[in-house]
């Protein structure tokens, strides 16, 4: 599993104080470009505004038997609620096209074929605290998202998720991190979720499994169908690899992940669905992180310890990219 990410940000565009960003992501199954401009102080107040245009293509024929293309734009505002809390509101209009269906794809995937227009609004609340002056460096954040799609358009659902992360550095250069996520999708007004609407786990969200490598699956074709509910917990320890390697920018990591995704919903078109229960999957692994001149590189080697017979596993992952 290979991922290449590069991002550029100009924090003072032409001396105006506005921010310009450009993100390009290239991967085995997902190519994405995202361009945006933001104004950190609208009308001189502590209110930010941003506008983005984006396009991405996902080739998940091997995983689920189709290709997905999305193009659209978004705009939003954000403002602080307190020293530790911020609320962002984003409107997104996008076209989603499921195409190039494999001739042997699941009937549930075939039923999702075609273009639909999605018009949605997202409310996102973030609470974050860092404790850098009191003993060990530590901190946590909690992000709660509520997305409603159906303000016009053809896609109609409510999707909610929450992600909590924490870290602590009890010893010099040794950091423990813990992240938990859960989410739910609820279609309404007669709409039934398509395969592209549902949650997928695997890849970097649950290491040791392919992207879409666990959860509901067509028993006959093996296509991953995604689920309307998910939960995942990731834990990791980063540590130095000795002074000489540390000077070169190398660090080590060990980790353990566990989670599940389930409930394909009613849109199956008569397909026989297996692995649609919330049975737990888990994996352990180790990695090497290198802060190279080209950006951070990471190599992971994982081994599943809890899985179902129909799950698809993945031992090796490699990423290269920059983050800002």
**pLDDT tens, 244-268?**
998 899 999 999 999 999 999 988 8
- pLDDT average, residue stretch 180-203: 96
Write the DSSP symbol of residue 309: T
Phi, psi at residue 293, to the nearest 5°? -65, -20
Q: Which residue in 132, 135, 140 sits closest to 170, CA to CA?
A: 135
The per-residue pLDDT for 14 is 61
For residues 263-281, average pLDDT: 91
Question: Tokens 């692994």 sit at which residue?
Answer: 285
Overall pTM surpassing 0.75 (yes/no): yes
CATH of the domain at 140: 2.40.160.50
* Per-residue pLDDT band at 322 (split at 50, 70, 90): very low
User: pLDDT tens digit string along 17-26?
Assistant: 678 888 888 7
Tell me the residue range of the domain where 44 lies: 2-321
Q: How many domains does the chain have?
A: 1
Neighbouring residues of 316: CB distance < 8 A, sequence distance ≥ 6: 1, 299, 300, 301, 302
Residue closest to 317 by CA, chosen among 294, 296, 300, 295: 300
User: CA 166, CA 140: separation in Å to the nearest integer?
Assistant: 4
Q: Tell me, what DSSP letter sits at residue 42? A: G
166 burial type by CB count under 10 A (0-12 exposed, 13-18 middle, 19+ buried): middle
Q: Which residue has the tokens 């992501």?
A: 25
Q: Are 181 and 169 in contact (CB under 8 A)?
A: no
Q: What percent of the chain has pLDDT over 90?
A: 75
* Residues 278, 154: Cα–Cα separation, whole Å: 29
**3-class secondary structure, 102:** coil
Q: Do the Cβ atoms of 226 and 263 come closer than 8 Å?
A: no
Pairing of strands 2-10, 19-27: antiparallel
* C-alpha span between 2 and 280 (Å, rounded): 26
């Amino acid at each position: 599993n290979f991922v290449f990410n590069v991002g550029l940000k100009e924090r003072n565009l032409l001396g105006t104080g506005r921010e310009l960003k450009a993100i390009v992501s290239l991967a085995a199954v997902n190519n994405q470009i995202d361009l945006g401009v933001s104004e950190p102080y609208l009308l001189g107040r502590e209110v930010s505004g941003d506008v983005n245009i984006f396009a991405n293509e996902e080739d998940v024929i091997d995983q689920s038997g189709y290709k997905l293309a999305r193009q659209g734009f978004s705009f939003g505002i954000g403002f602080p609620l307190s020293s530790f809390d911020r609320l962002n509101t984003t409107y997104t209009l996008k076209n989603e096209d499921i195409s190039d269906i494999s001739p042997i794809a699941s009937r549930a995937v075939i039923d999702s074929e075609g273009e639909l227009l999605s018009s949605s609004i997202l409310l996102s609340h973030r609470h974050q605290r860092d404790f850098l002056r009191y003993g060990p460096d530590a901190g946590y954040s909690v992000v709660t998202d509520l997305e409603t799609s159906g303000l016009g358009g053809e896609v109609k659902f409510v999707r909610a998720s929450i992600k909590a992360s924490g870290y602590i550095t009890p010893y010099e250069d040794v950091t423990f991190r813990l992240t938990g996520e859960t989410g739910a999708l609820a279609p309404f007004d007669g709409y039934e979720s398509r395969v592209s609407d549902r949650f997928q786990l695997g890849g970097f969200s649950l290491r040791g499994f392919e992207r879409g490598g666990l959860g509901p699956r067509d028993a006959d074709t093996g296509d991953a169908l995604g689920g309307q509910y998910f939960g995942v917990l990731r834990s990791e320890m980063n540590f130095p690899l000795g002074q000489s390697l540390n000077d070169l920018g190398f660090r080590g990591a060990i980790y353990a992940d566990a989670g599940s995704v389930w409930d394909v919903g009613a849109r199956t078109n008569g397909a026989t669905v297996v692995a649609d229960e919330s049975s737990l999957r888990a994996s352990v692994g180790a990695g090497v992180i290198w802060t190279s001149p080209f950006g951070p590189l990471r190599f992971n080697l994982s081994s599943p310890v809890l899985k179902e017979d129909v799950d698809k596993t993945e031992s090796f992952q490699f990423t290269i990219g920059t983050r800002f």
